[in-house]
Amino acid sequence: MSLATLPPQNETESTSSRLRRADWAPFELVFFDCDSTLVSIEGIDELARWVGCEAEVAALTTQAMNGDLPLEAVYSRRLEMLRPTREHLRRLGQLYREHLIPGADQVIAALRSLGREVFIISGGLAQAVQEFGVFLGLPIPNIHAVEMDFNQLTGRWWETWKHPGGRNPDERYLTHATGPLTVGKGKAEIIRAIRQAHRGRALLVGDGLSDLEAGEAVDLFVGFGGVVARDRVRAGSEVFIDAPSLAPILPLALAQPTIPADYESHYLEGIRLIREGKVTFQNPVAREALLQRLE
């Protein structure tokens, strides 16, 4: 049963008795999108800026994220326009760090410290997303993004003694691995596979339509509007964060009155944002049930 879908309501039942019946259970698995969720940028748009086709790629990205065009129709087209190099992706991984949503690293650290399994599920490019995820403390198997193949015979490929880490930074995009993350509703497929290996209730946080569609594979989808508030995502989310902070994920996922002192400030911030209406719930009874768990 979805968290926001409470048991059928008897018309003669009082609101107070329904509140006593309602409950909010903690979550053991937490999935995050990356771009415009953990970070305040869209990586593909940054790559486009570096090669001078920002407007064209941004328009395609926006249409895909808003659901006006299917993801599979634009994914290959954007990469063919950009043809990024290994050096581009290294720079993008660094840019992700610089544009981290404030406190997002502490939110992830708190979740992991308290025994939650945390994953990144992104339609971004693996080299950059994985570097960023490792920076956040996640193991590589918990970071899912789109793998690319490079043309190794580009740039001064023969000067291997000059290549940092043995990799030619001028190697340029050749093709990408087609799979769930390059098509609509593909994130749900990956989440289901992960859930077969990990027990527990699952929560997904994301900003785009692909994230909303993946909500069918989890117990609760939380829309994030802290970078871009998309109308269709807001309308379809059981819970929607309308603030530039991921702190509400801590009380939403943990549902307990207290938290270790190292992470208490972020936990209290999350509770404050919920109480102040910066986190909206489709089902107000679910909100009250959560607040009861936090008392």
* Cα–Cα dist 7/30, whole Å: 24
pLDDT digits (tens, 9 = 90+) for 67-120: 777 767 777 788 888 888 888 999 999 999 999 999 999 999 999 999 999 999
Handedness of CA 205, 271, 118, 293 (dihedral sign): negative
223 vs 234: CA distance, rounded Å: 6
Domain boundaries, the chain: 26-294
pLDDT tens sequence across 126-182: 999 999 999 999 999 999 999 886 546 565 544 554 456 656 565 765 556 677 887
- Which among 285, 211, 294 has a CA at the least distance from the CA of 253? 294
**Which residues in the chain belong to E strands, given as ranges?**
29-32, 117-125, 143-146, 148-151, 172-176, 202-206, 220-224, 239-241, 279-281
Domain 26-294: which CATH number of 3.30.390.30, 3.40.50.1000, 3.10.20.590, 3.50.50.60: 3.40.50.1000
Tokens of 215: 């909500």
Alpha carbon distance 240, 228 (integer Å): 12
CB 211 within 8 A of CB 120: no
CA 205 – CA 10 distance, rounded (Å):
32
